[in-house]
């Protein structure tokens, strides 16, 4: 068993001599003296021989046993005896402990730098307060220094945009795809800025990008010999948008087929017995829990103001829950149910309205559907009948899948679809030939992307341009204009996946800084490796 001295614990491998240790309630003060060999002059690198004087400096060290640790370090000032050196005297620095002009130890600086990299200014300051480290947000952010951008561009360069403020201002992030690290951050997404960067940093051979035309123009202008690769994920995203647009345009075909095949709407079943209890809606459950909380605090002797502050409610709301019976509160919550409760009864109301040629009172129909299980208010029924008389009532919606849902069925691999979704998709294909054609084209293109069969792209594009819906033919024309990059993306293994990961990290950093940081500070945090 090796027994270490207190010097080995406080200053392991450091040339200092411990002189005194003083304890206080929340701090530990250590006095030490530098005892290493004579240092070299930082100006001429000559070894010092004579001591000029000595003085004591304070260093904030990492906390120990939950207490702040303050080091009072006595260091020596030496003469520089070389006549050609501009320095006459200089102060020694203890390796591994002190640095010039710094009032904290090197170990503390490393801790603060790690906190600044991970959390930034304000959040880092709060953590340092818990760790008993003396550091404000300005000090933490001052420790961050952006690494030097290499003079030459990486061989495989990934480029993508990110939002400073979504829909308003954007920047550009450049990533070394092979190394997986950010190379530089540009203040905008214009082709001129990116082209200037490519000229100043030659050497790029492959550029992985999305479908942005600004980056394409910059590459062709500043690095014409570089091979451009269109990202496969963005290609599938553009294809999905074209399919969804096709489904939107042909939604009437689906509605027409459903209406032609649908039988007459059945009459809602009669309910002989009332409902056993209130349905467990969100409003009913919230009312019940709030009533319990208020009465529990009232029984504990809390005042109305204290309960309002505790539950974040208005005082009048607290008083109403205290003085009103629970059944009455639940009945009020039931009456406030949304108008969607009328939806199952609309076919019955529409048929009854047609039978009597509109000469029917809302009270009569309200009583009829109430006998069949309706639990809503009378006013909702009256509003629907008024819309029927004015001809502005919304028709009873058929069970038609949304365009986004149909698109998700088409874009997924066939083996990932359940049997029920496969049947629904087959019904959609039978209802609209254009959607069926878009489905066939989308699935064949997805196979090209997933299996990297770029050599078959020239066969797919003419098929999509000839007999396909307009959104799909437009997508095919867009591919033809960017044919070389798309073919490379469907052939080579490179992609922008690493770039997208860094974009997500940038979003996290940007939101953590709450928009207060300037572009240089944000750029520094992005470029600083974690």
What are 294-326's pLDDT values in tens digits? 998 999 889 998 898 888 888 889 998 998 888
Tell me which of 141-145, 183-187, 461-465, 501-505 is least confident. 141-145
Expressed as residue numbers, the domain containing 435 is 239-257+401-489
Instruction: Work out whether the CA dihedral 102, 104, 106, 110 comes out positive or negative.
Output: negative
Instruction: Answer for the pair 206, 489: CB distance below 8 angstroms, yes or no.
Output: no
Q: In which band, very low, low, confident or very high, does the pLDDT at 399 lie, cut at 50, 70 and 90?
A: low
Residue 273 lies in a domain: no
The bridge status of strand 227-230 relative to strand 206-209 is: parallel
Which residues lie closer than 8 Å to 524 by C-beta, 6 or more apart?
Answer: 144, 145, 146
Average pLDDT over all residues of the chain: 84
> What pLDDT is attached to residue 139?
87
Residue 502 belongs to domain with CATH number: 3.30.420.10
> What is the arithmetic mean of pLDDT over 390-411?
75
Residues 129 and 163 in one domain: no
The last residue of one of the domains, among 363, 390, 417, is 390
pLDDT at 275 (0 to 100): 40
More confident residue, 377 or 230: 230
pLDDT surpasses 50 at 171:
yes
Concatenate the DSSP letters of all residues of 157-215 into one string.
EEEEEEEEETTTEEEEEEEETTTTEEEEEESS--HHHHHHHHHHS----EEEE-S-HHH
d(CA 37, CA 253): 90
Residues facing 171 on adjacent strands: 162
Q: How confident is the model at residue 514 (pLDDT cuts 50, 70, 90)?
A: low
First to last CA, the chain: 37
Give tens-digit pLDDT for 98-146: 988 888 889 889 899 888 888 888 888 899 888 888 888 888 888 888 8
Domains in the chain, number: 5
Within a domain: residue 270? no
Does residue 269 belong to any structural domain of this protein? Answer: no
pLDDT class of 439 with cuts at 50, 70, 90: very high
Write the CB contacts of 55 (distance below 8 Å, at least 6 apart in sequence). Answer: 74, 75, 77
Q: State yes or no: pLDDT of 330 exceeds 90.
A: no
Binning pLDDT at 50, 70 and 90, where does residue 339 land?
Answer: very low
- Please indicate whether residue 77 or residue 211 has the higher confidence score (pLDDT): 77
In whole angstroms, what is the distance from residue 27 CA to residue 494 CA?
55
Mean pLDDT of 76-91: 91
- Please state, in angstroms and as integers, the Cα–Cα distance from residue 287 to each residue in 149, 294, 300, 308, 334, following that order: 60, 11, 20, 15, 10
In a domain, 249, yes or no: yes
Q: Note whether 424 and 368 are same-domain residues.
A: no
What tokens does 252 get? 């009437």
The answer to whether residue 271 is domain-embedded is no
Q: What's the rounded mean pLDDT across residues 406-429?
A: 90
- Are 18 and 43 within one domain? yes
For residue 481, is pLDDT > 50?
A: yes
DSSP 276-340: SS----HHHHHHHHHHHHHHHHHHTT--HHHHHHHHT--HHHHHHHHHS-HHHHHHHHHHT--GG
> Residue 461 CB: number of other CB atoms within 10 A?
20
Shared domain check, 425 and 381: no
The confidence score (pLDDT) of residue 398 equals 53
My answer on whether 348 and 406 are in the same domain is no
Examine residue 320 and state whether it is found in any structural domain, yes or no.
yes
If asked whether residues 58 and 92 sit together in one domain, one would say yes
Question: Are both 32 and 119 inside the same structural domain?
Answer: no
pLDDT of residue 278: 44
How many Å apart are CA 81 and CA 98, to the nearest integer? 24
Residue with the larger pLDDT of the pair 171 and 511: 171
Confidence band for 273, pLDDT divided at 50, 70 and 90: very low
Looking at residue 519, its pLDDT comes to 86
131 and 163, same structural domain?
Answer: no
What is the β-pairing status of strands 27-34 and 227-230? unpaired
- In this predicted structure, the answer to whether residue 355 has a pLDDT above a threshold of 80 is no
Q: String of b and e for 93-126 (b: at least 16 CB within 10 Å)?
A: bbeebbeeeeebbbebeebbeebbbebbbbbbbe
pLDDT at residue 272 in the model: 41
Query: Angle formed by the axes of helices 315-323 and 282-299, to 10°?
Result: 90
Res 271: pLDDT: 41
Which of 160, 223, 136 is closest to 507 using CA atoms?
160
| Calpha distance 410→311 (Å, rounded) | 48
Please count the helices (runs of H) and the strands (runs of E) in the chain: 23, 10
* Whether residue 265 has pLDDT greater than 60: no
Question: What is the rounded CA–CA span in Å between residue 145 and residue 121?
Answer: 14
Residue 260 is predicted with a pLDDT of 60
Which tokens in the block code for residue 26? 């929340």
Q: CB–CB of 465/441 below 8 Å?
A: no
Least confident stretch, 88-92, 403-407, 471-475, 524-528: 524-528
Tokens representing 356 are 């009597």
Q: How far is residue 37 from each of residues 15, 16, 20, 64, measured CA to CA in Å?
A: 9, 11, 22, 28
Give pLDDT, residue 221.
92
Question: How far is the CA of 518 from the CAs of 356, 423, 427, 442, 513, in angstroms?
Answer: 70, 54, 54, 44, 10
Radius of gyration, CA atoms only, the chain: 37
Separation of alpha carbons 422 and 52, rounded Å = 89
- When pLDDT is cut at 50, 70 and 90, the band that residue 277 belongs to is very low
* Rounded alpha-carbon distances, angstroms, from residue 439 to 445, 457, 503: 10, 17, 31
422 pLDDT more than 80: yes
Please, are residues 14 and 35 in contact by the beta-carbon 8 Å criterion? no
Confidence tier at 435 by pLDDT (50, 70, 90): very high
Lowest mean pLDDT among 40-49, 272-281, 393-402, 512-521: 272-281
Secondary element (H or E) of residue 107: helix 106-119
The Cα–Cα gap between 453 and 460 comes to 11
Same-domain check for residues 474 and 506: no
Largest separation between any pair of C-alpha atoms in the chain: 117
- Give the residue, 266 or 215, on which the prediction is more confident: 215
**Does residue 264 have a pLDDT over 70?**
no
Cβ contacts of 433 within 8 Å, gap of 6 or more? none
Does some domain include residue 437?
A: yes
* Residue 182 included in any domain: yes
d(CA 278, CA 276): 7
Same domain, 207 and 177: yes
- pLDDT the model gives residue 334: 56
Is the per-residue pLDDT at 472 higher than 90?
A: yes
pLDDT of 268 > 80? The answer is no
Pair 297, 244 in one domain = no
φ and ψ at residue 182, rounded to 5 degrees:
-75, 135
What would the mean pLDDT of 191-196 be, rounded to a whole number?
Answer: 94
Per-residue pLDDT band for 270 (boundaries 50, 70, 90) equals very low
One domain, residues 217 and 251: no
């Amino acid at each position: 068993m090796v027994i270490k001295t207190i010097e080995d614990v406080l200053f392991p491998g450091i040339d200092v001599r411990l002189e005194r240790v003083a304890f206080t309630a929340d701090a530990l003060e250590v006095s030490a003296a530098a005892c290493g060999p004579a240092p070299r002059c930082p100006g001429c690198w000559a070894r010092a021989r004579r001591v000029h004087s000595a003085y004591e400096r304070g260093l904030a060290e990492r906390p120990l046993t939950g207490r702040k640790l303050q080091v009072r370090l006595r260091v020596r000032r030496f003469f520089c005896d070389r006549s050609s050196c501009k320095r006459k005297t200089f102060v020694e620095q203890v390796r591994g402990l002190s640095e010039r002009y710094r009032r904290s130890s090197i170990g503390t600086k490393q801790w603060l730098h790690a906190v600044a990299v991970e959390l930034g200014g304000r959040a880092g300051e709060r953590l340092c307060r818990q760790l008993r480290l003396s550091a404000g947000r300005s000090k933490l952010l001052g420790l961050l220094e952006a690494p030097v951008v290499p003079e030459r561009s990486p061989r495989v360069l990934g480029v993508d945009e990110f939002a400073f403020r979504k829909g308003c201002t954007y920047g550009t992030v450049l990533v070394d795809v092979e190394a997986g690290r950010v190379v530089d951050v540009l203040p905008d997404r214009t082709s001129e800025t990116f082209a200037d960067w490519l000229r100043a940093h030659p050497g790029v051979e492959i550029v992985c990008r999305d479908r942005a035309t600004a980056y394409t123009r910059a590459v062709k202008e500043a690095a014409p010999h570089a091979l451009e690769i269109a990202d496969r994920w963005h290609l599938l995203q553009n294809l999905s948008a074209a399919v969804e647009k096709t489904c939107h345009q042909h939604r009437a075909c689906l509605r027409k087929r459903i209406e032609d095949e649908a039988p007459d709407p059945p009459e809602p079943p009669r309910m002989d017995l009332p409902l056993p209890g209130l349905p467990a809606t969100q409003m009913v459950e919230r009312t019940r829990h709030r009533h319990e909380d208020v009465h529990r605090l009232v029984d504990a002797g809390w005042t109305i103001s204290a309960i309002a502050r505790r539950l974040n409610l208005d005082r009048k709301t607290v008083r109403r829950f205290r003085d009103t019976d629970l059944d009455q509160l639940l009945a009020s919550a039931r009456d406030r149910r949304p108008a969607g409760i009328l939806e199952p009864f609309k076919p019955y109301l529409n048929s009854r309205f047609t039978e009597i040629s509109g000469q029917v009172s809302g009270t009569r129909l309200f009583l009829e559907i109430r006998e069949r299980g309706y639990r809503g208010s009378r006013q909702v029924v009256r509003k629907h009948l008024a819309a029927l008389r004015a001809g502005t009532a919304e028709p009873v919606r058929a069970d038609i899948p949304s365009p986004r849902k149909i698109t998700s069925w088409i874009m997924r691999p066939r083996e990932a679809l359940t049997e029920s979704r496969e049947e629904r998709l087959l019904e959609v294909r039978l209802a609209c030939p254009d959607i069926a054609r878009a489905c066939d084209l989308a699935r064949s293109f997805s196979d090209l992307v997933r299996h990297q069969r770029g050599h078959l792209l020239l066969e797919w594009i003419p098929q999509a341009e000839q007999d396909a819906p307009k959104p799909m033919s437009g997508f095919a024309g867009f591919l033809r204009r960017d044919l070389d990059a798309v073919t490379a993306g469907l052939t080579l293994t490179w992609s922008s996946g690493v770039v997208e990961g860094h974009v997500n990290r940038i979003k996290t950093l940007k939101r953590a800084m709450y928009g207060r940081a300037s572009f240089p500070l944000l750029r520094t945090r992005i470029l600083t490796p974690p």
